[in-house]
Amino acid sequence: MNQAEPVPNTRILHTSDWHIGRTLYGRHRYAEFTAFFDWLHATIVEHQVDILLVAGDIFHTTTPSNKAQQLYYDFLCRIAASSCRHLVVTAGNHDSPTFLNAPRELLRVLHIHVLASLPASLAEEVLVLKDQAGEPEAIICAVPFLRDREIRTATAGQNMEDREQDLVQGIRQHYSKVCAAAEAKRTALARAVPIIGMGHLFTAGGVEGDGERKLYVGSLGQVDANIFPPMLDYLALGHLHCPQKVGGNETRRYSGAPLVMGFGEAEKQKSVCLINFPAADPTGPTASTPAPAVNTLAVPVFQPIKRIQGNWEHIQTELTTLQLEGRTVWLEVIYQGEELISDLRQRLDEAVAGTALKILRVHNRRIIEQALHPVEAEETLADLQHEEVFTRCLDAHEIPAEQRPSLLAAYQEITLALEQDDPMAT
């Protein structure tokens, strides 16, 4: 075996799930995205990051607004002009493959590598990134969100369980092939460079946050963590909005979304992952890369949000405390008192009038429980998951229980097809 050449210290920053363009109950969040990109750029400069990995869901919709696009491309230009040598972007389930891929060749000149869908050749997913001296410093298995139609062949007569098993097997085989190709490249290089995997999916045991869509039909929102080959030196995942390790493994992580996606995450600390690969031992075997040091860097809160819930007295106390702080806070108020308050919204508006507090959502549980007519409730479609809306429609039409599983399965397939359809491809 050839003796491995030394590889210098390599610093990698892992982030995901930006969801540029996402609103919060009608409120635009462009100021937050701008502040985050300013912070991220400063962090990359401060920590002398060599490689930035973005693991999917760059935008919140497949047709991002002009402002969202401006924020994205402005940030790419700033990174290209910084000390960061490479930026790797993979698509998530929210992204349009056609849109992200459109400037791909131009961005490559700036050492910005975009993988928005499965390429014609598997080798295109294996990126050998080079250092300032032109020597390989890392191999990236840049796997984008794997769509059902890309990795599974539909077979007549299959039931839901069969299709789920085929899809899991397709994901497993794809990662196995990509990682094998990366290993072959490392062996050919005779250089102890780290191999880093990327992905956008939901592994079993992960903690969900606000705003995460099921990626596949049925129970395949979760795939087993063992689908990832053990030879990966680090695995950068996206899709789950809460930062977390996969199976407690330090080097297999979700970075989480940098901004809170909803009031359910109001108390969650957001972060990005900083991975430091120390210089490799030139006397070790080719594949023997030192274990990286992984740290999380806390993302500042750019727009405070808070959920207040309880009876009217508790809500009043919380509002008074926030007013004294003088901060601009976006609020969700959930009334849980015994007293029936029909004018809750009016009371709340009067309580925050002339202050920096903004109430974005009011949920009057007492009204919902007591109301004789649903129209009186303050519950809206925005409060419900789409499958819950469908289930309530089944209830309203008194659909027999034995018919519901097949109807729900058909509904899931239809919504999956709509989510995976790419309107930019026409």
pLDDT digit string, tens, across residues 136-160: 999 999 999 998 777 776 666 666 6
The CATH number linked to 118 is 3.60.21.10
Instruction: Examine the pLDDT at 168 and tell me if it is beyond 70.
Output: yes
Higher pLDDT, 341 or 21: 21
| Weakest mean pLDDT among 6-15, 197-206, 390-399 | 390-399
Mean local confidence (pLDDT), 63-92 = 96
**What is the percentage of the chain residues whose pLDDT exceeds 70?**
80
Q: Give the residue from 246, 273, 298 where a domain finishes.
A: 298
Least confident range from 199-213, 346-360, 406-420: namely 406-420
Residue 420, helix vs strand vs coil: helix
Do 285 and 380 reside in the same domain of the chain? no
Residue 35 lies in a domain: yes
127's enclosing H/E stretch is strand 126-130
Residue ranges of the alpha helices (H) in 6-136? 30-46, 66-80, 97-101, 104-109
Tell me, what's the pLDDT at 151? 76
The verdict on 336 and 288 lying in the same domain is no
**pLDDT value of residue 149:** 74
pLDDT band at 361 (very low <50, low <70, confident <90, very high): very high
Residue 362 to residue 334: CA distance in whole angstroms: 6
> 249 in a domain, yes or no?
yes
Instruction: Provide mean pLDDT across the span 393-422.
Output: 69
Choice among 153-157, 180-184, 293-297 with the minimum mean pLDDT = 153-157
| Per-residue pLDDT at 373 exceeds 60 | no
Residue 4 lies in a domain: no
Domain that holds residue 393: 305-423
For residue 272, which of 289, 254, 284, 260 has the smallest C-alpha distance?
A: 254
Please tell me the total count of domains within the chain.
2
Ranges 13-22, 45-54, 289-298: which has the least confidence: 289-298
Does 40 have pLDDT greater than 80? Answer: yes
**Do residues 220 and 338 share a domain?**
no
**3 state DSSP class of 235:** strand
Sequence-distant (6+) residues with CB within 8 A of 216 are 148, 164, 167, 416
pLDDT in tens, 56-72: 999 999 999 999 999 99
Tell me, what's the pLDDT at 372?
36
Q: What does the H/E/C string look like for 349-362?
A: HHHHCCCCCEEEEE
Q: Confidence class of residue 378 from pLDDT cuts 50, 70 and 90?
A: very low
Given a cut of 80, whether residue 309 has pLDDT beyond it is yes
The answer to whether residue 1 is domain-embedded is: no
Q: Name the pLDDT band for 375 (thresholds 50, 70, 90).
A: very low
Length of the chain, in residues: 426
Check whether residue 331 and residue 241 sit in a common domain.
no
Q: Please report whether residue 5 resides in a domain.
A: no
Residue-averaged pLDDT of the chain: 85
Predicted pLDDT at 192? 85
Strands annotated E in 233-312: 234-238, 244-246, 249-254, 271-277, 293-298, 305-310
Return the pLDDT at 158.
Answer: 63
pTM for this model (two decimals): 0.82
Q: Which two tokens stand for residue 69?
A: 């696009």
**Statement to judge: residues 286 and 405 lie in one domain:** no
39 and 163 assigned to the same domain: yes
Is pLDDT of 282 > 60?
A: no
- Reported as a single tens digit per residue, the pLDDT across 204-237 is 766 666 666 555 444 444 678 888 999 999 999 9
CATH number at residue 379: 3.30.160.720
Domain boundary among 250, 274, 298: 298
Is 228 part of any domain? yes
- Asked whether 335 and 344 are in contact (CB, 8 A), the reply is yes
